[in-house]
A and B are shown apart, each in its own frame.
Chain A
Amino acid sequence: MKDIKVLGSGCAKCEKTITVIDTVARELNVAVTITKETSPESIMSYGVMSTPAVVIDNAVVHTGSIPHRDKIEQWLKNSE
Chain B
Amino acid sequence: MFQVFTDFASWLTYRVLKLSADTKAADAVHFFIEDVSKIFVLLIAMIYIIALLRASLNVERVRDYLAGKHRGVGYLMGSSFGAITPFCSCSSIPVFLGFTSAGIPVGITMSFLLTSPLINEVAVLLLMSLLGWKFTILYVVVGMAVGILGGIFLDLIKAERWLQSFAAEALKRGRQTASDKNSIDTLPVDSLQFRERHQFAKNEAMEIFGRVWKWVIVGVGLGAALHGFVPDGWIKAHLGDGQWWSVPAAVLLGIPLYSNATGVIPVMESLIANGLPVGTTLAFCMSTVAASFPEFILLKQVMQWRLLAILFCMLLVSFTVVGWVFNAFTPYL
Contact = CB atoms under 8 A, between A and B. Distances in A.
A41 to B, nearest CB: 5
Contacts of A49: 59-60, 63, 91, 94-95, 97-99
Nearest to A49: B98
Contact of B101 (A7, A9, A44): A44
A28 interface: no
A51 B87 CA distance: 9
Contact of A50 (B59, B101, B166, B298): B59
A18 to B, nearest CB: 15
B283 to A, nearest CB: 29
B73 to A, nearest CB: 21
Given A49-B63, A50-B58, A40 B97 contact: yes
Contacts of A55: none
A47 B97 CA distance: 9
B112 to A, nearest CB: 11
B90 A40 contact: no
A50 B88 CA distance: 8
Chain A contact patch, size range: 10 to 19
Contact of B90 (A41, A44, A47, A51): A51
Nearest to B87: A50
B302 interface: yes
Nearest to B301: A40
B180 interface: no
Contacts of B59: 49-50
Contacts of A44: 94, 97-98, 101, 166, 170
Given A40-B301, A50-B58, A50-B59, A9 B94 contact: yes
A11 B90 contact: yes
Interface residues on B, range: 20 to 34
Q: Give the interface SS of chain B, mostly helix, strand, loop or mixed.
A: helix
B170 A50 contact: no
Interface in B46-66: 58-60, 63
Nearest to B187: A63
Most chain B CB within 10 A, of A10, A14, A48, is at: A48
A40 to B, nearest CB: 5
B190 interface: no
A43 interface: yes
Interface in B288-324: 298, 301-302
Interface in B89-125: 90-91, 93-95, 97-99, 101
B185 interface: yes
A51 B91 CA distance: 6
Nearest to A39: B301
Contacts of B99: 49
B58 A64 contact: yes
30 contacts: A8-B90, A9-B90, A9-B93, A9-B298, A10-B90, A11-B90, A13-B88, A40-B93, A40-B301, A40-B302, A43-B94, A44-B94, A44-B97, A44-B98, A44-B101, A44-B170, A48-B94, A49-B63, A49-B95, A49-B97, A49-B98, A49-B99, A50-B59, A50-B60, A50-B91, A50-B94, A51-B88, A51-B91, A51-B94, A64-B58
Interface of B: 58-60, 63, 87-88, 90-91, 93-95, 97-99, 101, 166, 170, 185, 298, 301-302
Interface of A: 7-11, 13-14, 40-41, 43-44, 47-51, 64
